[in-house]
Amino acid sequence: MFALTAFEVISFAVLHCSIHNLSQTRRLALERSLKFFQFLQDSEEEEAWLVERISLAKSQDVGKDLVMCLMLIKRHEVMTVLLQ
């Protein structure tokens, strides 16, 4: 039905390569962006975890009875293992 000239075929091939290159560039930019935002999310989670642990470590609570003291000792042991 439509007959393309050699020039038109070459033009389409060049355009196709150009679009393909642009899409690859965009893909790489999006992948970098995804990695960056994943890093931000992970670092915010780590920071929240650290803030929680720091508040526990700064606590001056020594317990009012033996059970409370043993619970605080266990919490300290767990925190020591987590921080290593």
Domain that holds residue 14: 6-83
Give the pLDDT of residue 58.
87
Global pTM value: 0.61
The sign one gets for the Cα dihedral 4, 5, 6, 8 is negative
Give the pLDDT of residue 10.
93
Q: What are phi and psi of 64, to 5 degrees?
A: -105, -15
Per-residue CA distances from 57 to 7, 39, 44 (Å):
74, 26, 20
Report yes or no on 1 lying in a domain.
no
Report yes or no on 32 lying in a domain.
yes
Report yes or no on 77 lying in a domain.
yes
Report yes or no on 39 lying in a domain.
yes
Give the pLDDT of residue 1.
66
Domain count, the chain: 1
Give the pLDDT of residue 46.
94
Residues of the chain with confidence (pLDDT) below 70: 1
Give the pLDDT of residue 28.
98
